[in-house]
A and B are shown apart, each in its own frame.
Chain A
Amino acid sequence: MNEMDEQLKRALQRCEPPDGFAERVLARVDREPSPTAKHLAWTLWHRPALRWATAAALVAVAATGIGYHIHQRKEEAEAKTAKQQVMLALRITGSKLRVAKQRVKAVERGTDNVGKTL
């Protein structure tokens, strides 16, 4: 170390801040929210395991939602098919009943004619 280095070190000694500096800093700190809550949020986000767990939970929630949606759609489709089948069955039954009624009427008319003839 040469003469200039020594002189610079002596000349550039640290100097104290104005009186009451620490108190003014602490007063400003008192107005700050506790760093603990912020730290917790930061920690949760910046820990890889927790980040992966959060991502996995989000994927699980999304998958459950999609699964539920698909299930709902399937049930709706099945209900629609069943309704169509019931309507078809009712239509078939209705037409069969009409045919049967016409035949009954025809038979009744034939019997009347026989009775009249006798």
Chain B
Amino acid sequence: MIQDAAGFAEIVREHQAMVFSIALRFVRDRSVAEELAQDVFLKLYRELPRLESAEHVKFWLRKVTGHRALDYIRSAHRRPELALEEVPEPTADGRESDVLLESSLRKLVSSLPDQARAVIVLRYQEEMEPHEIAEVLGVPAATVKSRLRRSLALLRGKIQRFVGEPIR
């Protein structure tokens, strides 16, 4: 699947939000996420002749972004988990409250430990099945399922402590 420059530009534009979002939610820093996403696309450019299809490219991007972001987190370990005090209080009803709830949820997800955050982001942002997450993270599917269960339980606990009522 050798692409010319125009073809590669199209691939970048098609997948930039996916790559940047995975990187951002893993590393929780916009400038680091951008640098990491750029590196991933540069690597893609070098690897492109060996990738066989559009699906292969998408899978490769998710996998490499995930690995790079987790490597960065492991090597950096400089950002502590976000404190819940940093998360704004949800208020009001209707769409405004939805927006606030979503914002709060993002912050609560962001406060999860690295591995928990990784599976939650891949499951709910990328809507990947556990076996796909397993391939990306290089762990057994059973491990992904148990991490998802634990991560959701952890998140429910955080939400309950934060809003004062359980979410089912």
Contacts and interface: CB of A to CB of B under 8 A. Distances in A.
B9 interface: yes
A4 B167 contact: yes
Given A9-B124, A26-B12, A29-B8, A35 B46 contact: yes
Nearest to B102: A11
Interface of B: 2, 5, 8-9, 12-13, 16-18, 20-21, 24-25, 30, 33-34, 37-38, 41-42, 45-50, 98, 101-103, 105-106, 109, 120-121, 124-125, 127, 152, 155-156, 167-168
Contacts of B9: 22, 26
Interface string A17-41: 1100110111011001001101100
Contacts, number: 104
A39 B2 contact: yes
B109 A12 contact: yes
A5 B125 CA distance: 11
A49 interface: no
A35 B121 contact: no
A16 B34 contact: no
Interface residues of A, number: 29
Contacts of A11: 101-103, 105-106, 109, 124
Interface of A: 2-5, 7-18, 21-22, 24-26, 28-29, 32, 35-36, 38-39, 42
B38 A25 contact: yes
B132 to A, nearest CB: 16
A33 to B, nearest CB: 9
B31 to A, nearest CB: 9
B152 A35 contact: no
Given A16-B16, A28-B42, 20 more contacts: A4-B155, A4-B168, A7-B101, A8-B120, A11-B102, A11-B109, A12-B106, A14-B125, A15-B17, A16-B17, A17-B33, A22-B13, A25-B12, A25-B41, A26-B5, A29-B8, A29-B45, A35-B47, A36-B2, A38-B46
A105 B111 CA distance: 124
Contact of B16 (A8, A13, A22): A22
Contacts of A7: 101-102, 105, 167
